[in-house]
Amino acid sequence: MTTSNEEAMAQLLRHRASIDNLDAVLLHTLAERFKQTQAVGALKAAHNLPPSDPAREERQIARLRTLAEDAGLDPDFAEKFINFIIQEVIKHHQAARG
Amino acid sequence: MTTSNEEAMAQLLRHRASIDNLDAVLLHTLAERFKQTQAVGALKAAHNLPPSDPAREERQIARLRTLAEDAGLDPDFAEKFINFIIQEVIKHHQAARG
């Protein structure tokens, strides 16, 4: 099965449109996730709860690695990804504390 | 308005459940995004199209910065995020080429 260059270009544009849609999903989901972590930060500050919870983070990473495997995604990438997000959350919490 | 420690803990657990749901959305959306970029990579290889397209990447970054601002997200973080994903896509393409 061969595809003409014209058809290949049409396919490329369809994939790019999907990628753009998925990026919008990612971005808005991240915005909502940061809203939740901001609320968690405020709650912890108001109730003198410790800012970080290593046991919770360990459970999150283990869960995401399993979800990644089921979704055909590299578990190491999933772990790198969640650590990337957690670093940003820590930055937000530090900024909020002044 | 004060909240008891018990209520604070219940709120914390509700936020964490939302964060876990949102992480599952992020992970599955990323899995779908990598399916799309894998298809793009195969298409480009089959039709001898250049593997990277700097003009397209520039448009993607500009669009995501705008989306981020509208969603109340730091545009610099959005740019860092898309670059993080693009690095992983490049790694996949390099692995696919052998």
Domain definitions of chain A by residue range: 5-96
A67-76, A83-92, B19-28, B87-96: range with lowest mean pLDDT: B87-96
B43-80 confidence digits (pLDDT tens): 998 998 888 889 999 999 999 999 999 999 999 999 99
Measured between beta carbons, which residues in chain B are less than 8 angstroms from residue A5?
47
Q: Encode pLDDT of B26-53 as tens digits.
A: 999 999 999 999 999 999 989 988 888 8
Task: Please report which residue ranges of A50-96 form alpha helices under DSSP H.
Answer: 54-70, 75-96
Q: Which of B49, B73, B84 sits opposite A27 (nearest CB)?
A: B73
Distance, CA of A4 to CA of A13 (rounded, Å): 14
CATH of the domain spanning B5-96: 1.20.59.10
Residue A79 vs residue B91, higher pLDDT: A79
Neighbours of A7 (CB within 10 A): 12
- pTM confidence score: 0.92
Do the beta carbons of residue B47 and residue A8 sit within 8 Å?
A: yes
Instruction: List A residues 49-68 in contact with B (Cβ-Cβ < 8 A).
Output: 49, 56, 60, 63-64, 67-68
The mean per-residue pLDDT over the stretch A25-52 comes to 93
Cβ-defined contact of B63 to A34 (cutoff 8 Å): no
Taking the alpha carbons of B74, A41, A32, A23 in that order, is the dihedral positive or negative?
positive
Which of residues 18 through 47 in chain A touch B, CB cutoff 8 A? 18-20, 22-37, 39-40, 43-44, 46-47
